Structure 1
Amino acid sequence: MPSATLTLLAPEQWRAAEAAHAERMAVFTQPYRERRSAAKPHPVHDFLFTYYSLTPGQLERWHPGAGVVLLGAEAVAERGAWKHYRVIEDADGAGTPGVCADVEAFARDRASMVSFAGAILVGTAARPGNFACFGLHEWAMTYRSDVHGVRHAYLPLRLGAAGTDEVVEAHQIRCTHFDAFRFYSPEAVPLNQLKPTRETQRDLEQPGCLHANMDLYKWAYKLLPAVSSELVAECFELSWRVRAMDMQASPYDLADWGYEPIRIEEPEGKAAYVAAQRGFAEEAAELRARLLGELRTAGLLP
């Protein structure tokens, strides 16, 4: 039964959107597949595929989001059995069938995740940003590498092990992000002014954090198909650029990979880091607001 709150897309419309999304994401997914096949890892570009759980194929799959009906028998045949989709027998009032996201089923099945994601997104948006961390989380992960080694063993440290340790010891570290803090070396853990945990995550995340802003991609894809793939793609592309900057400011030497370092151990490098960090925070704030808007429109958040 048609509803004034639903947007109807004819087959030629949704097929075009589907193809455009797949093409947009293939710019990222196809090179990753080729690298994986050749066993040639990339220290920057692989992160969004190896750290986050969405597969390249899932990223390429297009979802219109809540309240959009894809018209036609082909849509029903292809998507009618997809999880959290439902078939509408008469979608346009003229007997044409269609499919759309089943938000009610999604809300039932994913209630705890939606609640947690909503708390993270709302809380992060409400807090002031910390723009004095200078990306030291990556340095804390490599602290005392002479004892523990480094996570990216095929990458040299730009300042060597001793020089990296000196940078860590010369700064106050105040990382708010649990999923960065949990990779600290054991000796670096007590150097952090905060002790983030999974339980305190919703109370600590703040909009200046590079990892919190990269995680917009995670929350967006976890909320598929209730949110749109267009928004997921925009969050992915922001995360892609944030990841590059995060690694440029890290202790690793990425010159052989074509990346100039952001030397956060020097005043000029700190200024460059903060400028980029603020720019990303502004972009992330807009995407976070849009993500919350889609959740509220779908009736998943008040």
Structure 2
Amino acid sequence: MTDLRRRLPQRGGGIFLTDAGIETTLIFQGGLDLPHFAAFHLLRDEQGTQALRDYYRRHAEIARKNGAGFILESATWRASPDWGDKLGYSVAALDEANRKAIALLHELRTELETDRSPMIISGCIGPRGDGYDPGKVMSPQEAQAYHARQIGVFAEVGVDLVTAITMTNTNEAIGVTRAAQAAGVPAVISFTVETDGRLPTGDRLQDAIEAVDRATGNGPQYFMINCAHPTHFTDVLDGEAWVQRLYGIRANASECSHAELDNATELDDGNPIELGLQYRDLRRRFPHINVLGGCCGTDHRHIEQICMSCMEAA
């Protein structure tokens, strides 16, 4: 067990940045081919691995320059069994890809971490299905079994936590949390919401967070929102106790709905300055929200603006 697993430093306050929309950045700015949006596929060769190094360094340098913490989120959103099978990976090859993804983050932490910018290694867990559409919802038991192997690999190679990104339903979030508990690794759950602030299943964000907590004994270290624009969820946040469980935001650059983004032929990168100010306003309302990054359409420009706006308001 890593020492950081016992007490994650981001729970103690201070701003911790994360990266931006890794897949959209690598595809639209890097010109890279990511079948099924699988960034981990780049780890097959040194050229792809170097592209990931460069991506992480660019974002981590923003944290270093501003004295913020940084969460290194692995490029493994698609590195789970069903997606690996679609990409032609055997079980053993998928395990090795997950190991390589975390080894890269250990290498980067050794290179980049400073006293003013502590760096946390997170094993990224993606949904079994589409990140916008829950499709056939698993039971919590099925979800735990599905995600257990990837989480087990992460536990073996020394992640500080696992973060489930774009969770569309409570059952899968419960299963991920239970799998992490069984492996002895802290878990973070990040839900995606639609333009009305509700999960793709129609559940209220409050109900989803409370349901996961009830089913897991307040298992997640904290919750996040990702893959939605601040205008989609700002109005559903209030001063009630459940909001105190929400520590992180990884917003989309675009105000478009998930359906509109799916049908778009060009990347909508929004307005980085405006997005930074929206994060600042959220932080002023909820100063405990301190894990700040981006999702689809965002890149290092957005993270820089988010950092500048929120550091100035701190």
Output the TM-score relative to the length of structure 2.
0.27
Higher strand fraction: Structure 1 or Structure 2? Answer: 2
Output the TM-score relative to the length of structure 1.
0.28
Larger Rg: 1
